[in-house]
Amino acid sequence: MDKMEVEKRVIKVVCHVLGADPAEVKAESDFVFDLGAESAQSVGLVTAFEAEFGIEMDHEEALKVQTVGGAADYIATQLT
Amino acid sequence: MPSQPTEPSALDLIFSPRSVAVLGVGATPGTVPNDIFCNILGSGFKGVLYPVAPGKHSINAVRAYRYVTDIDDTVDLAVIVFPANVCEKALQQCGEKGVRAAIIISAGFREVGPEGAAREDRVKDLCRRYGIALVGPNCLGVINTAPDVMLNASFARGMPSAGRIGFLSQSGALCTAVLDYAAEKHIGFSKFVSFGNKAGVTEIDLMDYLHRDPQTDVILLYLEELRDGRGLIEAARRITRGPGAKPILAIKSGRTPQGAHAAASHTGSLAGEDAVCDAVFRQAGIIRVASIEELFNAAILYAYQPMPADNRLAIVTNAGGPGVMATDAAVSAGLRIPRFEPETTLKLKAALPAAANTKNPVDVIGDARAERYVAALDAVLADPNVDEVLVILTPQSMTDIPEIAQSICQVQKTAAKPISCSFMGAADVRPGITILQRAHIPHYVLPEWACQAMAHVQAIRQWRAQPAEKIDPAPVDRAAAEAVLRGAPAGYLREDQALAVLEAYGFPVPAAKLCKTADEAVAWGDRIGYPVVLRVVSPQIVHKFDVKGVALNLAGADAVRTAHRQMMDHLATAAPEAAIVGVIVRRMIPPGHEVILGAKRDPAFGPTVMFGLGGIFVEIFKDVTFALAPLSRQAAARAVREIAAYPLLEGARGTAKADVAGIEDCLVRLGQLVTDFDSIAELDINPLLVGSAEQGCAVADVRIRIAGNG
């Protein structure tokens, strides 16, 4: 799966979990500062990424990722 | 012409903002990001409130903004509740918008380790760059109960009632407990601040603000860590005396990490940070207390009752035992139990049954109802020998508790003297206590607590009555001391050098000389006269007595030669590695009181001096006190009188009065010396031998430790 595809699916998950407008979700968007993720939603995002990509993530590490682009990069490394 | 409105200060913006933006508001009730917003909204805030909640259309029916920069209006105060890792972004936007005041509630800064400390440093940089006054991070928030503001920018469980007490706390969790405690006792606040890590606004800024605040009468402080002890003391001195003086009552818990190290000198080991803090607070007019109970016990008495003119207490009780207990407690606390004027006794006799006690403490006896309490109260309050009154009630079958409480409230309305109460018990007396507390009449579970609170108020009164002190430097030869100290290596100065420093600063140092040989020692002894003392000088020998490096009371030349030979022979085996520079030869000082004068650098307060009973008693009795350096003459006089052994110096049991003025002079000079030279880490004069006023004082031994560069 190429990086573009990963990012596209990450944005889809983010919009679904946070109820965000896809037009406002950019690679540089901060989950908390720009998209308003509350702490429970951040945990929900990690779980939703795992389901979307069929992977298991280290939650502590995953929760340190702050931006959409960062999440796409992190997931891409998990997929390879 | 109308005057121009003045620009509000940054602290005014924190306490009385016209508009508040909460950054990072969440939609989940029961979480800090949501509760803070709801608290401001629900507290009746008189300004405008903006939730900054990215991704949300509204919070509690209030239109939400994605960024603070999206708000068209001016924002006076930003309350940041975002997680720590995005607080910098939020603060950056506040700076760009021109917000001048902020509170960061979030934790995750200096308190969590190096990564958090670095984050806090970046936050400080942002505040400096944009000129933002910051409360926090890692705090509960700020509350202002002023009716024209009504701001509860905190995650406390509700808005406290308005009152005259300003509360400042480093601990946020303690704040919530204090608010709950105060609510139960009907205690109100003017301002309530949890200042957390104090990355921007400090307790000193807040104390100064409360000093100026017309709604605050008394300042309460809970402090865990002192970073600027000197600043705190200077602020306290400004606030607690002079026009508009307000008392400061403080709990200082915890110790600085530096205090844990084991120090080599007596002063170092005796001057634990807590003991120094205790003395220094006292010298700055800060009333230090040990518990929240004690803090509020004193605060309510000061805030809600008039200041007593003096310390004469009348007690009115319906039970003899508690009256006696209260009398004991009052006397122990330094209060006086005066005799009444004959007119008062006549009034009491006329109003009370024959079995009643009309002397102080007045016993209105067990069957007393409200009218008897009122008659006794009226009589003692009118007595010119009485400055304040304590009313004690024990619940007996005929005691009309609520009526008595209401009567006391009525009497208090016109009384010019403070009234405190102790309705002893719990369940039966509860309705009466509630009546008293609602009327702001201080109530104490035990009469002893009442007396302790009264003693604190007396300390405030006495502190204000003392004139402000001026520090007059003593004439000293600073250049001569500097010549010795400049470039001195870290570690202990040689005794001859230490004595030279003291001599330059005008201490009573007996004529002494460093002699390299026995012949030189004899020549010097012949010159100054016998008996003399020999003291070995070696950079490697700090404890001279341990290696027999001291010979006392040598009556003539032969004795000096013998002592010198024996000392050198012994040192050759007892301290073979020591390089012997020579021996100090000085006149034998006549016996006298042995006292210790010490100095050290406290991590929080800087140079401090210590005074106490000296010689071998130092470690046993630890009868010492401390003072900030430099000292005024008055501070030196107080320090000398603070130790338990002071009566010995005054001439107990027919002995001559010691040269107390000489000790005070030495303390002033010591304070000056350690203030002038940062390189002095610790200094012990132990003992200073103190003779009569005619004989004077003499330095018998001194050790000066020079600080290392690290």
Looking up residue A20, the CATH number of its domain turns out to be 1.10.1200.10
Please determine, for residue B167, whether its predicted confidence score (pLDDT) is greater than 90: yes
Q: What mean pLDDT is predicted for residues B212-228?
A: 93
Among candidates A18, A32, A38 on the partner chain, residue whose Cβ is nearest the Cβ of B28: A38
CATH 3.30.450.20 fits B593-706, yes or no: no
Is B33 in CB contact (< 8 Å) with chain A? yes
Residue B506 makes CB contacts below 8 A (sequence gap 6+) with B474, B475, B476, B477, B665, B669
Q: Do B53 and A36 touch (CB under 8 A)?
A: yes
Among B254-268, B327-341, B577-591, which range has the highest average pLDDT?
A: B327-341
B306-465 CATH fold: Rossmann fold (3.40.50)
Which chain A residue is nearest to residue B88, measuring alpha carbons? A33
Structure tokens at B430: 């509860």
Q: Do A32 and B56 touch (CB under 8 A)?
A: no
Under 8 Å between Cβ of B456 and B335: no
Q: Do B83 and A36 touch (CB under 8 A)?
A: no
Whole-number Å distance between alpha carbons of A18 and B379: 73
pLDDT of residue B266: 44
Q: Where are the domains of chain B?
A: 10-256+267-298, 306-465, 511-588, 593-706
pLDDT of residue B258: 45
pLDDT class for B4, splitting at 50, 70, 90? low
Please determine, for residue B244, whether its predicted confidence score (pLDDT) is greater than 70: yes
pLDDT class for B430, splitting at 50, 70, 90? very high
Q: Domain range holding A67?
A: 3-79
B308 Rama sector, left if φ>0, alpha if ψ -120 to 50, beta otherwise: beta
Question: In whole angstroms, how far apart are CA B64 and each of A16, A31, B94?
Answer: 20, 17, 16
Q: Do A36 and B28 touch (CB under 8 A)?
A: no
- pLDDT tens sequence across B480-539: 999 999 989 999 998 889 999 999 999 999 999 999 999 999 999 999 999 999 999 998
Domain B511-588 is in which class? alpha beta
- pLDDT tens sequence across B647-695: 989 987 777 899 999 999 999 999 999 999 999 999 999 999 999 988 9
A·B CB contacts under 8 A: 35
Question: In whole angstroms, how far apart are CA A30 and each of A24, A26, B244?
Answer: 11, 9, 50
Cis peptide preceding B630, ω within 30 of 0: yes
pLDDT of residue B5: 56
Q: Do A35 and B55 touch (CB under 8 A)?
A: yes
Considering its fold, how many domains does chain A have in total? 1
pLDDT of residue B251: 92
Q: Do B90 and A33 touch (CB under 8 A)?
A: yes
Among the listed residues B603, B606, B597, B628, the one whose alpha carbon sits nearest the alpha carbon of residue B678: B606
- pLDDT tens sequence across B433-461: 999 999 999 999 999 999 999 999 999 99
Is B336 in CB contact (< 8 Å) with chain A? no
- CB-based burial of residue B67 (10 Å sphere; 0-12 exposed, 13-18 middle, 19+ buried)? middle
Please determine, for residue A2, whether its predicted confidence score (pLDDT) is greater than 90: no
Predicted ipTM? 0.91
DSSP label of B16? S
Please determine, for residue B589, whether its predicted confidence score (pLDDT) is greater than 70: yes
Among candidates A32, A38, A39 on the partner chain, residue whose Cβ is nearest the Cβ of B86: A32
pLDDT of residue B259: 41
Please determine, for residue B262, whether its predicted confidence score (pLDDT) is greater than 50: no
pLDDT of residue A32: 95
Among candidates B26, B66, B90 on the partner chain, residue whose Cβ is nearest the Cβ of A38: B26
CA angle B295, B301, B303 (to 5 degrees): 90
Hey, do B10-256+267-298 and B511-588 end up sharing a CATH topology, with the first three levels equal?
A: no
Q: Do B54 and A40 touch (CB under 8 A)?
A: no
Is B82 in CB contact (< 8 Å) with chain A? yes
Q: Three-state SS across B278-289?
A: HHHHHHCCEEEC
Considering the entire predicted model, what is its pTM? 0.88
Name beta bridge partners: B154: B141
Among candidates A19, A33, A40 on the partner chain, residue whose Cβ is nearest the Cβ of B86: A33
Among candidates A32, A34, A35 on the partner chain, residue whose Cβ is nearest the Cβ of B83: A32
Q: What mean pLDDT is predicted for residues B102-125?
A: 96
Among the listed residues B176, B61, B10, B57, the one whose alpha carbon sits nearest the alpha carbon of residue B49: B61
* Neighbour tally for B148: CB within 10 Å: 8
Mutate to test the interface with B, among A33, A45, A63, A68 (most CBs of B within 10 A): A33
Q: Three-state SS across B349-394?
A: HHHCCCCCECCCCEECCCCCCHHHHHHHHHHHHHCCCCCEEEEEEC
Q: Enumerate chain A positions whose Cβ falls within 8 A of a Cβ in B.
A: 18-20, 30, 32-40, 66
CATH 3.40.50.261 fits B10-256+267-298, yes or no: yes
Question: In whole angstroms, how far apart are CA B688 and each of B507, B508, B666?
Answer: 10, 9, 9
- pLDDT tens sequence across B375-422: 999 999 999 999 999 999 999 999 999 999 999 999 999 999 999 999
Name beta bridge partners: B443: B421
- pLDDT tens sequence across A14-55: 999 999 999 999 999 999 999 999 988 999 999 999 999 999
